[in-house]
Structure 1
Amino acid sequence: MTYYPDLTRYSYDVSDHTMLNVGWLARGRPFRTGIVNERVVEALAILSAAYDNHMRGVHFCEFCTSARPVVLGGPALDTEVWLGSAEIRVRGTDGTAYAAPNLVIHYIAQHRYCPPEQFCRAATETAGVETLDELILPD
């Protein structure tokens, strides 16, 4: 998978919309770590079933040897979603759009990746997941 620093302009694929990158991680490149509120992970799982920009190939995690991750996603969190071949796209209330590989769920859950706060807020808002707690606690 291609590496892009967080909050840089999205350019992985052609898009009619201006978007910012989040979670395009690669071995040998530093990334922020911390604790991400479970409501963010729930929101991303809900959104993961949309399969935005679904690709034919599969990207496996470069940080571990786990098999291709799968999560329960969709509105009822009852749809099997295989990670590593699609994107999750969200839009914040300020209009900023973000694109993340759906493998971002695995990065958060297994490797303590801590996405930018504004992306976390946009994900929970887009998915309709209410949270009153802090969304991230960076290391």
Structure 2
Amino acid sequence: MFYEDLSEYTYQDEDAFGDRESFYELWYRPQYIRLNVGWLAAGKPYSTGPVPAGFVEKLQAIQHVQWMNVCLGVHACDLCPEVEAPEGNGEVRIPGEVGIAYAAPFLVTHYITVHGYRPPEAFVDAVLAVDLDVWAAARWPDVPFPWVPEDAERLTE
């Protein structure tokens, strides 16, 4: 699935955060603009280049604590040979400037480390600005993302 970097995310109307330790989930219609980052596909051009030291490790740590829009199906990296292609089935949300969140597929770290993808600078800066200690400490009903509205629907059974 390909979306141009920094185009508006329109794949799903709602954002859904799951709890990694249970089957609990919350979902809501975002009040922020979601911008695509890292939705790569074979045959489509993408930016390449180095990323700052510590960026990949921080993004991986965020992905470890955030369980976002997880689907039953999987998406394989079509930039890799078929037998070696890793699969992903979720997304990550990174808050940017006020009113903007970046929407990336879970395979984004694979694209960076294996295929040399260079995300937009605004996304890199937003990832580096995440307070990972706060996100990692979040426990249900809180989730590791700051802009969840109070009236978010919650599945707790």
Name the TM tier (shorter chain).
0.7 to 0.9
Secondary structure (helix, strand or coil) at the match of 1:36 reads coil
Secondary structure (helix, strand or coil) at the match of 1:34 reads coil
Matches within 5 A, 1:1-139: 2-15=1-14, 16-17=29-30, 18-49=33-64, 50-65=66-81, 66-68=84-86, 84-128=88-132
8 Å Cα contact 1:10-1:19 kept in structure 2:
yes
Q: TM-score, normalised by structure 2?
A: 0.67
Structure-2 change in CA distance of 1:127 and 1:54 (3 Å): farther
5+ residue gaps, structure 2: 15-28, 134-157
Aligned length: 114
**Larger Rg: 1 or 2?**
2
User: Which residue in 1 is equivalent to 2:19?
Assistant: none
Runs of 4+ in structure 1 deviating by more than 4 angstroms, as ranges, are none
What letter matches 1:44 in structure 2?
Answer: L
Superimposed CA distance per residue, residues 29-86 of structure 1 (whole angstroms, 9 cap, x where no aligned partner): 0000001124221121111121210011111111113242xxxxxxxxxxxxxx5111
What letter matches 1:100 in structure 2?
Answer: A
CA–CA distance in 1 between the matches of 2:74 and 2:60? 18
Percent identity over paired residues: 43
CA RMSD of aligned residues (A): 1.7
5+ residue gaps, structure 1: 69-82, 130-139
Secondary structure (helix, strand or coil) at the match of 1:35 reads coil
8 Å Cα contact 2:47-2:117 kept in structure 1:
yes
Using the TM superposition, name which of 6-15 and 107-116 deviates more.
6-15
Q: TM-score, normalised by structure 1?
A: 0.75
Secondary structure (helix, strand or coil) at the match of 1:33 reads coil
Secondary structure (helix, strand or coil) at the match of 2:103 reads strand
Q: CA deviation at 1:127?
A: 4.5
